[in-house]
Amino acid sequence: MYSALMSMNASERLIEATRELLWERGYVGTSPKAVQQAAGAGQGSMYHHFAGKQELALAAIRRSADELGAAAEAVLGVGGSAYARIEAYLLREREVLRGCPVGRLTMDPEVIAHPELRAPVEEVLGRVRGRLAEVVQEGLDSGELRSGLDPDAIAASVLATVQGGYVLARATGSRAPFDSAVRGLLTLLAPPTRTP
């Protein structure tokens, strides 16, 4: 990561270093000194680009939220059946044992207590959930998915499976619980003529 960071300008290095540290340590554990060391930037550079830790953290959280939203849209917004797109979302490559860089922020009391820091987290999770509900509705409208499904409830279940799967995987030090949860949900959602 360090060599990739060094090819960026100081502002970008600070944001990327903060993203990594927030993912690993949370807001309290992400000190300005740790950010500066990870970014290879001095204190003057940090405060030239950002008013302080909170402004820098907000930029990093927004970047992580934008990436999460874009990754979801990359699989949910393409052609294909509703089931195939949900399957692609659930099976896309993830760093399961590290957890979700956005989802982990929901466990950070400092982030959740501060409305401005919480806003990008809440917004992107809501956007992904809404996009999933749209895909489920498309599957219902086309007759592909079993009638009677509630798109909002299914979208919440898909998102909860991913986020809960991260927690189970981290708790056991194995991605097996994540994979098992995903397979179980896909089996429940599978159209009658399809087995995942």
- For 5-18, the pLDDT digits (tens) are 555 688 899 999 99
Q: Does residue 87 sit in the same domain as residue 155?
A: yes
Residue 192 confidence (pLDDT): 75
C-alpha pair distances (Å), 191 with each of 57, 121, 136, 140 = 43, 32, 12, 10
The count of domains in the chain is 2
Q: Does residue 97 sit in the same domain as residue 137?
A: yes
Q: Which of 132, 152, 145 is nearest to 194 (CA)?
A: 145
- For 11-62, the pLDDT digits (tens) are 899 999 999 999 999 999 999 899 989 988 877 777 788 888 999 999 999 9
What is the model's pTM?
A: 0.88
- Helix 115-141 to helix 82-91 angle (10° resolution) is 140
The DSSP-derived string for 134-195 is HHHHHHHHTT-SPTT--HHHHHHHHHHHHHHHHHHHHHHTSSHHHHHHHHHHHHHH--TT--
| Domain that includes residue 85, residue range | 62-189
Question: What is the CATH classification number for the domain harbouring 123?
Answer: 1.10.357.10
- For 84-124, the pLDDT digits (tens) are 999 999 999 999 999 999 999 999 999 999 999 999 999 99
Q: Does residue 180 sit in the same domain as residue 123?
A: yes
Residue 194 confidence (pLDDT): 56
Q: Does residue 152 sit in the same domain as residue 82?
A: yes
Q: Which residue has the tokens 């993203």?
A: 19
